[in-house]
Amino acid sequence: MRTVRASGPILDVSEDPKKVISDFLGYAFSLQKLSGRPSSEELAERFAPKGKGMTLQDTFVAYRAEEPGDVPPEFTETAPVDLKKELWVLTRLHFGKPATSALVEGEELRHLIQEALKLRATS
């Protein structure tokens, strides 16, 4: 399972070579500024097994993959993805360039969010 560590104001996730998951955490914590709700409540609701995820227009999207077409093609080229598992697609959007995505199982995603919440609470 991946881990989270604080690198100054940035949250850095292990085994995240394209930094999509790290960026996800940063953007997810910014939702508090939009909703006014505590991050712990906001993120628990949005990323529960039946949560709605998040969309930051032209910047980032995170959603639960429920059908094969929900998974970016680069993840299905070598083998089909098991959608019986709770699988979340995290996608950093780039204007004029292809998007960059990561797949994370629900349990691990919530673990990373909890680790990030702990780090934010101590900093």
Tens of each residue's pLDDT in the chain, 123 residues: 999 999 888 999 999 999 999 999 999 999 988 889 999 999 999 999 999 999 999 999 999 999 999 999 999 888 788 889 999 999 999 889 999 999 999 999 999 999 999 998 886
Quote the Cα angle for 97-14-45, to 5°.
80
User: Residue 119 in contact with residue 12, Cβ under 8 Å?
Assistant: no
Taking the C-alpha atoms of residue 101 and residue 47, their distance in angstroms, rounded to an integer, is: 17
Q: What is the pTM of this model?
A: 0.93
